[in-house]
Amino acid sequence: QSVLTQPPSVSGAPGQRVTISCTGSRSNIGAVYDVHWYQQVPGRVPKLLIYGYTNRPSGVPDRFSGSKSGASASLTITGLQAEDEADYYCQSYDSALSNYVFGSGTKVTVL
Protein backbone atom coordinates (compact mmCIF):
# COMPACT_ATOMS: atom_id res chain seq x y z
CA GLN A 1 0.00 0.00 0.00
CA SER A 2 1.57 3.25 -1.17
CA VAL A 3 2.12 6.16 1.18
CA LEU A 4 1.20 8.48 -1.69
CA THR A 5 -2.26 7.85 -3.13
CA GLN A 6 -3.07 8.35 -6.80
CA PRO A 7 -6.21 7.48 -8.77
CA PRO A 8 -5.70 4.21 -10.66
CA SER A 9 -6.77 5.71 -13.95
CA VAL A 10 -7.86 8.87 -15.72
CA SER A 11 -8.92 9.36 -19.30
CA GLY A 12 -9.68 12.10 -21.74
CA ALA A 13 -10.17 12.87 -25.40
CA PRO A 14 -7.38 14.45 -27.45
CA GLY A 15 -7.11 18.13 -26.63
CA GLN A 16 -8.77 17.84 -23.25
CA ARG A 17 -7.25 18.60 -19.87
CA VAL A 18 -6.68 15.88 -17.29
CA THR A 19 -5.41 16.16 -13.73
CA ILE A 20 -3.78 13.47 -11.61
CA SER A 21 -3.77 13.90 -7.86
CA CYS A 22 -1.16 12.64 -5.41
CA THR A 23 -2.33 12.67 -1.80
CA GLY A 24 0.14 12.33 1.03
CA SER A 25 0.43 13.37 4.65
CA ARG A 26 2.25 15.68 7.06
CA SER A 27 5.39 13.57 6.91
CA ASN A 28 5.85 13.84 3.15
CA ILE A 29 4.03 16.22 0.81
CA GLY A 30 2.58 18.17 3.75
CA ALA A 31 6.08 18.79 5.05
CA VAL A 32 8.86 20.56 3.17
CA TYR A 33 9.70 17.74 0.81
CA ASP A 34 9.49 18.18 -2.93
CA VAL A 35 7.25 16.15 -5.19
CA HIS A 36 8.45 14.88 -8.54
CA TRP A 37 6.48 13.28 -11.35
CA TYR A 38 7.53 10.53 -13.75
CA GLN A 39 6.05 9.26 -16.98
CA GLN A 40 6.44 5.62 -17.94
CA VAL A 41 5.35 4.48 -21.35
CA PRO A 42 4.65 0.71 -21.25
CA GLY A 43 7.85 -1.26 -21.73
CA ARG A 44 10.05 1.80 -21.28
CA VAL A 45 12.18 3.29 -18.52
CA PRO A 46 10.51 5.96 -16.34
CA LYS A 47 11.25 9.52 -17.34
CA LEU A 48 11.35 12.60 -15.10
CA LEU A 49 8.48 14.86 -16.08
CA ILE A 50 8.22 17.46 -13.28
CA TYR A 51 10.64 18.15 -10.43
CA GLY A 52 10.20 20.31 -7.35
CA TYR A 53 6.41 20.40 -7.77
CA THR A 54 6.34 22.73 -10.78
CA ASN A 55 9.58 22.58 -12.79
CA ARG A 56 9.95 20.91 -16.17
CA PRO A 57 13.27 19.43 -17.28
CA SER A 58 14.53 20.52 -20.65
CA GLY A 59 12.59 18.87 -23.45
CA VAL A 60 9.37 18.27 -21.53
CA PRO A 61 6.44 19.96 -23.31
CA ASP A 62 4.78 22.83 -21.49
CA ARG A 63 1.42 21.09 -21.63
CA PHE A 64 2.63 19.27 -18.51
CA SER A 65 2.39 21.27 -15.29
CA GLY A 66 2.51 20.56 -11.58
CA SER A 67 1.12 22.14 -8.44
CA LYS A 68 0.83 21.65 -4.68
CA SER A 69 -1.94 22.30 -2.19
CA GLY A 70 -1.44 21.30 1.43
CA ALA A 71 -0.60 17.60 1.62
CA SER A 72 -1.45 16.96 -2.02
CA ALA A 73 0.19 17.54 -5.36
CA SER A 74 -1.25 17.46 -8.86
CA LEU A 75 -0.05 16.87 -12.38
CA THR A 76 -2.08 18.47 -15.17
CA ILE A 77 -1.86 17.66 -18.85
CA THR A 78 -3.40 20.45 -20.90
CA GLY A 79 -4.15 19.54 -24.48
CA LEU A 80 -3.96 15.77 -24.15
CA GLN A 81 -2.17 13.98 -26.98
CA ALA A 82 -2.12 10.33 -28.03
CA GLU A 83 1.55 10.06 -27.07
CA ASP A 84 0.68 11.00 -23.48
CA GLU A 85 -0.89 7.59 -22.93
CA ALA A 86 1.31 6.16 -20.18
CA ASP A 87 1.58 5.52 -16.46
CA TYR A 88 2.37 8.48 -14.22
CA TYR A 89 3.94 8.33 -10.76
CA CYS A 90 4.48 10.95 -8.09
CA GLN A 91 7.49 10.65 -5.75
CA SER A 92 8.63 12.33 -2.56
CA TYR A 93 10.45 11.70 0.70
CA ASP A 94 8.80 10.60 3.93
CA SER A 95 10.44 11.71 7.18
CA ALA A 96 8.48 9.32 9.38
CA LEU A 97 9.74 6.34 7.39
CA SER A 98 13.13 7.79 6.42
CA ASN A 99 12.21 6.43 3.03
CA TYR A 100 11.74 7.74 -0.45
CA VAL A 101 8.22 6.98 -1.63
CA PHE A 102 6.38 6.59 -4.93
CA GLY A 103 2.71 7.00 -5.56
CA SER A 104 0.64 4.03 -6.59
CA GLY A 105 0.62 5.17 -10.22
CA THR A 106 -2.06 6.44 -12.58
CA LYS A 107 -2.76 5.10 -16.03
CA VAL A 108 -3.71 7.82 -18.48
CA THR A 109 -5.82 6.69 -21.42
CA VAL A 110 -6.42 8.87 -24.45
CA LEU A 111 -9.88 8.11 -25.79
Partner 1 sequence: EVQLVESGGGLVQPGGSLRLSCAASGFNFDRYSMHWVRQAPGKGLEWVSYISTSSSTKYYTDSVKGRFTISRDNAKNSLYLQMNTLRDDDAAIYYCVRDLWSGGDLWGQGTTVTVSS
Least distance between partner 1 and beta carbon 15 (Å): 28
Please report, as ranges, the residues that interact with partner 1 according to CB under 8 A. Answer: 2, 34, 36, 38, 40, 45-48, 50-52, 55, 57, 87, 89, 91, 93, 98-105
Q: How far apart are CA 73 and CA 105, in angstroms?
A: 13
Q: Which one, of 93, 96, 98, lies nearest residue 73 by Cα?
A: 93
- The identity of residue 11, as a single letter, is S
Question: Do residues 101 and 93 make contact, with C-beta atoms less than 8 angstroms apart?
Answer: yes
For partner 1, the closer of residues 13 and 42 by Cβ is: 42
Q: Which one, of 26, 34, 12, lies nearest residue 93 by Cα?
A: 34
For partner 1, the closer of residues 13 and 59 by Cβ is: 59
Least distance between partner 1 and beta carbon 76 (Å): 18
For partner 1, the closer of residues 13 and 45 by Cβ is: 45
